[in-house]
A and B are shown apart, each in its own frame.
Chain A
Amino acid sequence: MKSVKKIENWVLTAGTFLAAALWIFPLYWAFITSIRSEERVVSDGAGILPDEINLTSYVDILWNTNLINWYINSIGTAIIITITVILSGMMCAYAISQMRFPGRRILYGVVLASFMVPSQALIVTQFILINDMGLINTWAGIILPQLIVPVVIIVYKQFFDAVPKEMREAVVLDGGGDYTLLFKIYLPLNWGITTALAIITFIMAWNQFFWPFLAVTTEDMMTIPVGITQVKDAFGVFYARLMSVALLGAMPVAVAYLIFQKKVTEAVMISSGVKG
């Protein structure tokens, strides 16, 4: 009996590694392709093991595309979106959670309802709006429709609700108002959730494709996800270059994920409500 269980365990572990190897293979293959010459990539002898280190396509991408611009646009817009979403969401959640004012319940109802609305269905009218405002091909145009992330308010409200009321008293006795309470008590108590929400908002903004794709028409204003689709049009089908630019585009967030793995995991779990 015991040995049957051992074999079973061994088979399960082997299966896990096989599944993991298959899952990572596309990224491995993209990397191997990116460090080969274009001729090697499409030659018959090109096996699945690495056999040369040729950085031509990386150099070519860095020199001959707008990649640096796309990085700047992606980083700039994603940072502004993250800060705005977190700050406005935190302030709104604090008011809903800790203050009494008319319309409070309605406001929270609207937040919950907007959580259920597909923003993709609004692209047509959001485009008309941004176009009317003259913001096509600007950072503001890319940023504005991405500022509504209701889940940030929902999560903050839950965490603010759980802060013991006694924590307020010292500040209130000192004559501190609600802004003092928020930034001296509620925010410091919730740094963990704040960084988790910030990381996930940043990743979502960085990866956004549909809206920036509509809001930008000139190549120098594109973000990474939109920009790298232009490389195909510029070079034709040169796979080493296409893989190089794909990996360069994926790198910042992938590295950030590997550094903050625990935080990202936590953020995903909290924002989907399975852990609170």
Chain B
Amino acid sequence: MPMLTNRRKEMAVAASLVAPFVLTFVVVFLYPTIRLVQLSFTNAPLIGSGEWVGFDNFIRLLSDRLFLTSLKNNGYFVLLTVVPTTAVALGFALMIRRLRGALQALALAIFFLPYILPVSVVTQIWTWMLDFQFGVLQPVIEFFTGKPVSVFKNPYWVMPTVAAVTIWWTNGFNVLLFIAGLRNISKDYYEAAQLDGATRRQLFTKVTWPLLWPVTALVLTLQLILQLKIFDQVYLLSSGGPFNSSYVLLLMVYREAFQLNHGGYASTIALVLFIIIAMLSVLQFQLLRAGGRR
């Protein structure tokens, strides 16, 4: 009998320990997820109830030009950011690793600092630097193109510029991951390779690159998922314009829900984004597990 009450007591203690997280999770995460699926099959406004419309929203999505444009722009933004930011971060990490002591800490702080800035601070600074009339970077642009460019009002410049700003802002995180990865590579490999007379280039291609690959794969997949969720920078820098050339999925969710009052349709778009990202995350998880076993 005492065994049983002990067991019951332990159960109660366990329940009280997990309760705060579980309750919050159910209310602000699980319930909204279920509501999202349910709403995506209705024509509900943002506030208030609507009617069940079956798969109408999903069918409408397929022929919605703005949705296809957004999807394409999300893809374009991923292309513009994921590999470039990974390459830049690896370069910076290799540079920082060469430095010693205080210089290393200083260089690391400089490359990491933008990452901890609020997004609106970042966008305000870059809006000013790229101001059509007074921006400090306009002479640079003029040097290459012959004339100043209003970058956030130009359909060709807008996405690459938002991508560049994003890389400046978030790159520090990737630099840190690469530095951690480089620290994990044992010095013995380098010493052995140097004894064999390996050049600097060979050290990189034969030792650093293959041993660093798990971290590189991690950075690439984390970035892929992160950059698909872009909203803040586009909203603050270009609001999706000009001519929808920087319109992305989350911006569409925001417009449909909060400006056009289409709660149901917005939920459908959000659900599609949700599924795309969830699938990529599962893929990433599998990939990392496979990488870890190797």
Contacts and interface: CB of A to CB of B under 8 A. Distances in A.
Partners in one complex: yes
Interface of A: 8-9, 12-13, 15-16, 19-20, 23-24, 26-27, 29-30, 33, 41-42, 48, 84, 87-89, 91-92, 94-96, 99-101, 107, 110, 114-129, 131, 144-145, 147-148, 153, 177-179, 182, 203, 206-207, 209-210, 214, 224-226, 228-229, 232, 239, 242-243, 245-247, 249-250, 253-254, 257-258, 261, 264-265, 268-269, 272-275
B168 A125 contact: no
Given A95-B17, A129-B31, A274-B181, A207 B176 contact: no
B285 interface: yes
B177 interface: yes
Q: SS class of chain B's interface: helix, strand, loop or mixed?
A: helix
Given A20-B110, A29-B125, A129-B27, 12 more contacts: A19-B95, A23-B168, A88-B24, A116-B278, A121-B271, A122-B33, A124-B257, A128-B47, A144-B27, A148-B29, A243-B125, A247-B121
Contacts of B168: 23, 26
B8 to A, nearest CB: 11
B243 to A, nearest CB: 23
Interface in B11-37: 11, 13-15, 17-18, 20-22, 24-25, 27-29, 31-33, 35-36
B18 A225 contact: no
Contacts of B281: 115-117
Q: SS class of chain A's interface: helix, strand, loop or mixed?
A: helix
A182 B236 CA distance: 44
A209 B120 contact: yes
A92 B13 CA distance: 11
Contacts of B21: 88-89, 91-92, 153
A269 B254 CA distance: 32
Contacts of B95: 12, 15-16, 19
A107 B282 contact: no
A205 B271 CA distance: 25
B173 A33 contact: no
B28 A129 contact: yes
A185 to B, nearest CB: 15
Given A41-B134, A42-B134, A144 B117 contact: no
B34 to A, nearest CB: 8
Contacts of B133: 42
Contacts of A182: 17
A89 B24 CA distance: 11
Nearest to B231: A210
A48 to B, nearest CB: 7
Nearest to A21: B110
Interface residues of B, number: 89
Nearest to B39: A125
A275 B215 CA distance: 11
Given A29-B136, A125-B36, A88 B28 contact: no
A34 to B, nearest CB: 10
B218 A178 contact: no
A117 B32 CA distance: 12
Interface in B253-282: 253-254, 257-258, 263, 266-267, 270-271, 273-274, 277-278, 281-282
Contacts of A27: 113-114, 125
A124 B39 contact: yes
Contacts of A229: 120, 124, 236
Nearest to B233: A209
Nearest to B109: A261
A107 B129 contact: no
Given A91-B21, A124-B263, A274-B181, A246 B270 contact: no
B121 A118 contact: no
A92 B231 CA distance: 32
Given A92-B20, A177-B13, A121 B116 contact: no
Nearest to A89: B21
Nearest to A206: B118
B87 interface: no
